Amino acid sequence: MWKILRQIARTGIRTEPAPDCGEPPRAEVERIHRELLDILGQALTIRQVDPGSCNGCELEIHALGNPYYNLEGLGIKFVASPRHADLLLVTGPVSRNMELALKRTYDATPEPKLVVAVGDCGCDGGIFGESYATCGGVAKVIPVDVSVPGCPPPPLEILRGILAAVRRKVSA
């Protein structure tokens, strides 16, 4: 046990400020909290759906949970069921074999729901395009609020996309 504690103490806190939007970091975090509370009255919950990606985007979404980005520290967490989710974070392309599963996941998510499409393939099918096997981007199958391009987009860009979707809902 003491080795674990020593390692924790040696590592210290590595969490970095939330994405800079022109305010001091502390204010930024507080504003994100406030916005989330205004729209949802609770923490933002996300259900991630991979309807056919190469798994590159999933690796970067995973990274959002590491101590540097500390997603949960912002009041955002991933949940196991769409029924518990406020936002669907969907990569792409949407394979035809996953089209039905994605639609069902969307239908199972309670209103008001947000959808963020992640990655070049989530935006428009990327290098895989549209074919006998893929429908193309996420918007071909379910309504999308915000798209985050990149192959794959780095974690901060994905976080910005999530926050942009929430803000859009606040201002709407």
Distance CA 16, CA 34 (A): 19
Among 34, 62, 83, 168, binds another protein (CB under 8 A): 62
SS3 3: helix
Q: Which is nearer to another protein, 42 or 81 (CB)?
A: 81
How many CB atoms neighbour CB 71 within 10 A?
21
Among positions 109-148, residues that touch another protein (CB under 8 A) are 126-129, 131-134
Among 9, 11, 111, 172, binds another protein (CB under 8 A): 11
Among positions 65-84, residues that touch another protein (CB under 8 A) are 65-68, 78, 80-82
SS3 90: strand
Q: Per-residue contact track with another protein, 15 to 34, x per CB under 8 A?
A: --------------------
Distance CA 92, CA 120 (A): 8
Among 18, 54, 85, 118, binds another protein (CB under 8 A): 54
CB 118 within 8 A of CB 93: no
User: Under rule CB under 8 A, how many of the chain's residues touch another protein?
Assistant: 51
Query: Binding to another protein by residue 157, rule CB under 8 A?
Result: no
Distance CA 40, CA 103 (A): 23
Query: Binding to another protein by residue 50, rule CB under 8 A?
Result: yes
